[in-house]
Structure 1
Amino acid sequence: MMNQYRKVFLVAAPHWQQSPAYRRALAIARRSNASLHIGMFFEPRLGLPFLIDHLRDELLTQCRAELEREAEVLRGSGLSVTCEATWSADPCKEILERIATLKADLVIKNVNHEPALRRVFVTPLDYRLLRACQVPLHLVAEAPNPLPLKVAAALDVARPELLTSGLNEGILQAAQNMASLCGAELHLLHACDLPTAVDYDSATLSSSWDTSYAEQVRISLYQTFNHVADKWGVPMERRHFVLGPATQGIMNFMYDHQIDVMVLGMQRRLGLDRILGSTTERLLYHVSGSLLAVGADAAAQPRLQQSIDVKQ
């Protein structure tokens, strides 16, 4: 089996050693024989300039010492580890620049549950990274299994442009890499909001809504979904075509099937779509497992392994 990842980048936060993201990053780095970079990025908080001016250097010194102590232990076990603690007015920009410098091929971070009121005024770092990160971004809420046992790829076969943009391919490739590395089951999911799909086609084809037409759309989408699954060699028992709103369908599926990692796509969004957020963003604070977000750029990255190697 080829190594899926060469450089794993853990975006750490205080108490990171007890975090699910750290357990996942460490397990993946060990399994793939990848080097691990641990970075902590602090930003000034409004209303605390005095505290920031007087305690920043002390805080950074303590964090760097803590990081280096843990890194030394990990190096002693044979893992290649680097670390840093940085103060930044724009952590998202700093993290993105570090990803490029390190040539990281997987970024792992704990989900940070920002209060709803704060999210109205300030875009959370997790959302900003989801929208801008050009490599797979693994946001971990819980990790009862350090290496995931079940990985699922959430595809959208209802929108024709996604079948040609390469985003579905990027999602499948990222899911396959994760499942193959971890020896996990690979599942495929399409959560289809049929009325929305029919309305989309109706606007395109000037057709009206009726039951027979809706059934034709369902059959067409199901056939497309199976065609993609056939192409990637996913067995029938791991193909899941679910009718209903996408967000709720994915949440229910993850819970019912005990999915450790759900792989979804992210696209650049403008206008009202950006304000309302994507399915991935809406899921972020509501799933018990983890999300692996893949941008459209991921489709341009080389496939690391051609065949699916999953548990039977």
Structure 2
Amino acid sequence: MKLQHLLVIIDPSREDQPALTRARWIAQRCGARLELLACEYNPALDNALLLERGDLDTAQRNLLDERLAWLQQLAAPLRGAGLDVHCQVRWGKSLHHQVLLHCEQSTPDLVLKSAHHHNLLKRLFLTNNDWQLIRHCPQPLWLVQHGEWAGKNLCAAVDPLHAGDAPAALDHQLITVARELEQRLQLDAHYLHAYMALPHTLAFNAELLANYDNYVLRTEAHHREAFDALLAHYPQIDRQRTLLGQGFAEEVIPAYVKDHAIDLLLMGAVARGQLDNALIGQTAERVFEEVECDLLVIRPPETAT
């Protein structure tokens, strides 16, 4: 993954800009160019019945000019630190739609956006715009939880058995990105695969009940074999920082993030079915909103349309 052009989505409704803080951290380590984007829309300036079209256009331009000037103020200290920063504003409905249109035009290497977090629980809170970008953003999407950042550990959550119709190439893509970030940003990379055997209470026949312990052992062996086969492609990976975790992903992954002080979680987004709903299995929402770290979402190239 190249890190030459970072697109930072600026939220005019908040005083802090965690995504901008994170983008600055990245740019200072790899020399990336930053592009700050703010999107504006006010229905009162779109189709007012008692105003002329020309007056509406002038009002829109004035609002965008004000927003651009504000972006330039945000960019000033970054430029003072020697970073290459450009500012852009767009007018239009729905933030995610405008971001996607802009991505088509500017093709950034990485998109960073501030995500809300629950002040008491320190969890990610993903808005509809966040989920739409997870589903459709062709570039890697880095959702920044808050400004606090140790910048030491990342974790790639992989699925070597490709549950949830995940393409086989996605795990390799996640590992490749994790290793690149490890090298370029000096992060220690961890690798995790969570699996869950069928619970005893859901065993559906007498034979399975009678041999349940053996079934659990065979399930573990099956997943371990697949996990080991995936990691075998990357002999440079430190096996001390890999884990095959037994349990539901929405429990195993957040627990690992907390226990190992993970700063950035990498997960793959896969479009499933005609609803084009980006999921990893059926537990993505619970995983995303339970973790206490930033989230980097990677989509396989064949679905990045």
Match of 2:31 in 1: 33
Does structure 1 retain, via aligned residues, the 8 Å contact 2:21–2:147?
Answer: yes
Match of 2:265 in 1: 262
Does structure 1 retain, via aligned residues, the 8 Å contact 2:24–2:78?
Answer: no
Give 1:77-96 correspondences, 5 Å limit. 77-96=81-100
Task: For residue 24 of structure 1, report the CA deviation from its aligned partner.
Answer: 0.7
Match of 1:23 in 2: 21
1:195 is paired with a residue of what secondary structure?
coil
Q: How many residues matched?
A: 279
Task: For residue 102 of structure 1, report the CA deviation from its aligned partner.
Answer: 1.6
Match of 1:243 in 2: 246
Among 2, 5, 12, the alignment partner of 2:3 is 5
1:284 is paired with a residue of what secondary structure?
helix
* CA shift digits 1:43-75 (9 cap, x unpaired): 4579x987xx79755543332111112324423
* CA shift digits 1:117-136 (9 cap, x unpaired): xxxxxx70000000011121
1:138 is paired with a residue of what secondary structure?
strand
* % identity of equivalent residues: 25
Does structure 2 retain, via aligned residues, the 8 Å contact 1:4–1:181?
Answer: no
- Relative to structure 1, the CA distance from residue 265 to residue 246 in structure 2 (aligned partners, 3 Å threshold; closer, same or farther) is same
Greater percentage in helix: 1
Task: For residue 234 of structure 1, report the CA deviation from its aligned partner.
Answer: 1.5
Unaligned runs of 5+ in 1: 115-122, 301-312
Unaligned runs of 5+ in 2: 49-55, 119-126
* CA shift digits 1:5-33 (9 cap, x unpaired): 11011011026673221111111122111
Match of 1:103 in 2: 107
Does structure 2 retain, via aligned residues, the 8 Å contact 1:179–1:185?
Answer: yes
Task: For residue 34 of structure 1, report the CA deviation from its aligned partner.
Answer: 1.1
- Relative to structure 1, the CA distance from residue 89 to residue 163 in structure 2 (aligned partners, 3 Å threshold; closer, same or farther) is closer
Does structure 2 retain, via aligned residues, the 8 Å contact 1:6–1:34?
Answer: yes
Match of 2:169 in 1: 166
Distance 1:245 1:160 in 2: 13
Distance 1:164 1:59 in 2: 44
Whether 1:150 and 2:148 are equivalent positions in the alignment is no
Distance 1:68 1:164 in 2: 42
- TM-score, normalised to structure 1, is 0.77
- Relative to structure 1, the CA distance from residue 162 to residue 143 in structure 2 (aligned partners, 3 Å threshold; closer, same or farther) is farther
Whether 1:293 and 2:291 are equivalent positions in the alignment is no
Match of 2:184 in 1: 181
1:144 is paired with a residue of what secondary structure?
coil
- TM-score, normalised to structure 2, is 0.79
Match of 2:221 in 1: 219
Instruction: Name which one, 1 or 2, has greater alpha-carbon Rg.
Output: 2
1:79 is paired with a residue of what secondary structure?
coil
Task: For residue 248 of structure 1, report the CA deviation from its aligned partner.
Answer: 1.6
